Amino acid sequence: MTDSPLRILLMAAEMVPFAKTGGLADVTGALPKALKMQGHDVRVAMPRYGRIDRERFQVGEALASYPVPMDDHSEDAALLHAVVTSAGGDVPVYMIDNAHYYDRDGIYMYEDDADRFIFFCRATLEGIKRVGWQPDVIHCHDWHTAIVPNWLKTIYKDDPFYTNTACVYTIHNLAYQGVFGYRVLEIAGVDEFGFIAHPDTPALNDVVDFMGRGIYYADIINTVSETYANEILMPEFGEGLDPLLRDRRDRLYGVLNGIDTEINNPATDQFLVKRYDAGNLAGKVECKLDLQREAGLPQSRTIPLIGIISRLADQKGFDLIDQIIEPLLRNNDLQIVILGTGDQRYHERLTNMRARFPKQIAAFRTFNAQISQKIYAGSDMFLMPSRFEPSGLSQMIALRYGSIPIVRETGGLADTVRNFDPTTGEGNGFSFQLYDSMALYAAIIRALENYHYRNTWQQLMLRAMSADHSWATSARRYIELYRRAIATRTERPPRETYNKGE
């Protein structure tokens, strides 16, 4: 039956509300709730990091201790259990517990990350088998879980529990591929199949590229916007994997992310000094004054305030911002508030700018959900000039809070922001094409000019706030992909061109 409910297991390294470093966690937090709303039996698996408060989230135990094959031995995992409540019902969340791998301060950037995520994946497959909950489809996200499609086509191929399980693999950011050495194949138990090397990607000949494996082995591959799905087929955006992606383009899709409209709602957001909606915008001005106070900037209702919430990385266009920030501040009456962490050189640059333009720019160099919501609400414009952007959530959240995005036309930014045309009155933001600092500067100036036409700006805000960026539509598209994966599951033996490691 084509409309029968599916059993769907999402596997990911992070998930809201338990652990978040970026958009991935927002997606894995919100998509299951939307799938649940549509009547499916969806569960999520993630590692139980040390920072997750077991009491606060009422984390219980599903399986006390069971062996997980790793390398030439086995190690013990416990399967923990929590729930995320949603309007459609509770979403069960399995957490893989192992003190050695996960009792650390952070989530990533450890030397043994390959081992940590292989263990997580293997413990999940072994754990749900013991629980006896058999998924129709496993939905894997990013390199941390890319070994799963590889296993389903190799060492689990003849396992009766998984013979009918299909796999969808979502690329959230092709730039983070998880590249390791041969030893990882032994740890994952797939060394007999060797490296996967494509004739057009010699760089893959002697490394283990988890992302590449996910792309090669999954039944369906998707990324998080239609534009990015097309972009990554080209060398400019393909990060070296475009030949592999072109081979599989008949199974490659783009599904735009949504945002969690319960968490990101200016009418109910508990972090705001005053709540507001499209019917009553008065609260937004209060939020602006509150933000200016908190940022140590002069309070003004009328000065245009540009917000930035971002990882401080080249991907996000900080090299462009860097080139124009001085003339921008010197020549224009505006304020900028930045929230972000990342590259040291950008931290230093911001400190320097703050010292020189204390009335115009303020930076919070931290990761903080409360400040982020205050910036979405308190800013008039939201700047996101990314070099590439698989989907981007921040611009959608900004729209919902009536902060008008200024973006580069790439990936999900191109799919969500339409350049404002004053002659027709159409559009919901300001965008530019060339990755070039003058093009960025011109887009900001256009936004500043239009800001002074109060009616125009009000129309822009209302249009932005009333657009639907919820997960409902995208969740339906994922269901289609899950069914397609189930219907088109095929064997995927390692190809002759693929090398055996020595």
Residues that bind ligand ADP (CB under 6 A): 22-23, 26, 309-311, 339-341, 367-369, 372, 391-394, 397
Question: In the bound complex, what is the minimum distance in angstroms from residue 240's beta carbon to ligand ADP?
Answer: 19
- Could you tell me the strand order of the sheet in which 7-11 lies? 60-70, 73-84, 91-97, 41-47, 7-11, 137-141, 166-171, 220-223, 252-254
In this structure, are strands 208-209 and 179-180 parallel, antiparallel, or unpaired? antiparallel
Q: Which of 408, 409, 383 is nearest to 394 (CA)?
A: 383
Question: In the bound complex, what is the minimum distance in angstroms from residue 97's beta carbon to ligand ADP?
Answer: 26
Question: In the bound complex, what is the minimum distance in angstroms from residue 271's beta carbon to ligand ADP?
Answer: 11
- Angle subtended at Cα 500 by Cα 495 and Cα 502, rounded to the nearest 5 degrees: 175
Question: In the bound complex, what is the minimum distance in angstroms from residue 193's beta carbon to ligand ADP?
Answer: 32
Closest-by-Cβ residue to ligand ADP is 23
Q: Which amino acid is at 475?
A: A
Q: Which is nearer to ligand ADP, 201 or 368 (CB)?
A: 368
Task: Write out the two tokens for 436.
Answer: 């070039």
Question: In the bound complex, what is the minimum distance in angstroms from residue 346's beta carbon to ligand ADP?
Answer: 12
Is 211 within 8 Å of 248 (Cβ atoms)? Answer: no
Q: Which is nearer to ligand ADP, 218 or 397 (CB)?
A: 397
Question: In the bound complex, what is the minimum distance in angstroms from residue 393's beta carbon to ligand ADP?
Answer: 4
Query: Would you put residue 109 in left (φ > 0), alpha (ψ -120 to 50) or beta?
Result: left
Q: Which is nearer to ligand ADP, 198 or 284 (CB)?
A: 284
User: What is the C-alpha to C-alpha distance for residues 351 and 366, in angstroms, rounded to an integer?
Assistant: 13
Q: Which is nearer to ligand ADP, 193 or 382 (CB)?
A: 382
User: What is the C-alpha to C-alpha distance for residues 149 and 494, in angstroms, rounded to an integer?
Assistant: 12
Q: Which is nearer to ligand ADP, 242 or 260 (CB)?
A: 260
Question: In the bound complex, what is the minimum distance in angstroms from residue 419's beta carbon to ligand ADP?
Answer: 19
Q: Which is nearer to ligand ADP, 205 or 341 (CB)?
A: 341
Is 243 within 8 Å of 200 (Cβ atoms)? Answer: yes
Q: Which is nearer to ligand ADP, 253 or 364 (CB)?
A: 364
- SS3 of residue 68 by DSSP: strand
User: What is the C-alpha to C-alpha distance for residues 398 and 432, in angstroms, rounded to an integer?
Assistant: 18
Sign of CA dihedral 216, 217, 220, 222: negative
Question: In the bound complex, what is the minimum distance in angstroms from residue 202's beta carbon to ligand ADP?
Answer: 29
Is 475 within 8 Å of 31 (Cβ atoms)? Answer: yes
With a CB cutoff of 8 Å and minimum separation 6, the contacts of 4 are none
Q: Which is nearer to ligand ADP, 184 or 397 (CB)?
A: 397
